[in-house]
Amino acid sequence: VDAAQVWPPPVGAYAEEQGLFHILQNMLEELLIHKPDDPIEFMINHLKQNNDDAPRICVLGPPASGKTTVAMWLCKHFDAIRISQETLLFKETLALTEEAKAYKEKNQQIPNALWANLIQERLSNVDCIKQGWILEGFPENQEQAWMLQSFGIFPRHVVVLYASDTVLIERNSGKRLDPLTQEVYHTTFDWPTDPLVQERLVVPGDLSEQEVSKKLLEYHRSFPEVFQIYQKVLKSINADQPSVDVLSQVLSYVQTRPRSAAPFTPRIVFCGPPGSGKSLQAALIAQKYHVVNICCGQLLKEAVADNTKLGELIKPYIDNGWPVPDNLVLELLAKRLSALDCLTDGWVLSGFPRDIEQAEQLQKAQINPNRYEGHSAITTVHM
């Protein structure tokens, strides 16, 4: 029996596999943020952009923690657009660039509202929309974060680099500035390969230990409020380790998809050798998460005990201790997993598949788990 022809895949499973819930959630978020006059036209344009997976990342941290190095590396990896104080002031020709530069030239602090407007204008350009963006060093404080949110700018991932103040002050002494491009380099961690760039590098004017200590104090005062705003999408990473390790941990985090509020029906398969605890763990998971526990061996015995048509076909194999043919097992599983309780609450399956051929048959029968657990000992399933 070809179970795939008899039992069509549930609508919920299809929507989950195709990412429909994720698309709908993203569209709803955009509608609530932008409140367009024509929601239908807005949603059509949103779908045409096809940018739901474009990176939207903030790289934060105290002075000398390596924000620039991490942000530039992420931009190269994802082909995304890097946005920083340096790019906004010296590489862009935005409407408010000259106004911001005037504050900088007078050694005055650039207002939060001006920074937020510069960022909003830059991120609304088509390259940022299509390719995604890496926002380096922003937001610096709670007010900037709130202003960005009011513009509909909310990162999917926030990376926060940290190290002790002693380490940061020491690392800061190696900073060098390119006066032509305003790019920051480091004598140890990020030395330029171009000899011409090397020759024109200068020691930044704010490199004194007193100045760095002042900036660190400002950062420590402002960051807890920023942390509260982004805590659900934030990952702290120790910057006082080899850069390769830092970049590896950053990449691992930003490639994860944030937990979705979209509907989710657990469909779990436990695999492992005899005696590894599959049945016990499946029962515990079923009890904890209120899903249906499907033990393949028990299901076969119940079919025989109930004297169903399938049970009559299975009975000779059970009585003689022979393995039940895969096609009969699949037909039985397809019927049970298509029952209302399994479709509504989800399920956890143990005892099948036992080999790659059975796993392939499971896929052909449109039985698609969304969680797999292999057991040689106790394993925890994260829902």
Phi/psi of residue 214, nearest 5 degrees: -65, -45
Q: Strands 157-162 and 56-60: what pairing? A: parallel
- Domain 267-373: give its CATH superfamily: P-loop containing nucleotide triphosphate hydrolases (3.40.50.300)
Q: Which residues contact 261 (CB under 8 A, 6 or more apart)?
A: 25
Tell me whether the CATH fold assigned to 53-255 matches the one assigned to 267-373.
yes
Distance of CA 72 to the CA centre of its chain: 19
Task: Give the residue from 156, 179, 256, 168 showing the smallest Cα distance to 212.
Answer: 168
53-255: CATH class: alpha beta
Angle at 300 between CA 295 and CA 304, to 5 degrees: 145
Q: Are 293 and 281 in contact (CB under 8 A)?
A: no
Which pLDDT value is given to residue 258? Answer: 67
Q: For 32-58, what is each residue's pLDDT tens digit?
A: 767 888 888 888 877 776 666 789 999
Say whether pLDDT at 84 is over 90.
Answer: yes
Residues pairing with 267 in the sheet: 347
Question: Could you tell me the two tokens for 64?
Answer: 């000398």
For all residues of the chain together, what is the average pLDDT? 84
Which pLDDT value is given to residue 263? Answer: 66
Phi/psi of residue 372, nearest 5 degrees: -125, 135
Q: What is the pTM of this model?
A: 0.64
Give me the residue spans of the domains in the chain: 53-255, 267-373
Mean pLDDT is highest, among 210-214, 315-319, 367-371, for 315-319
Which pLDDT value is given to residue 141? Answer: 94
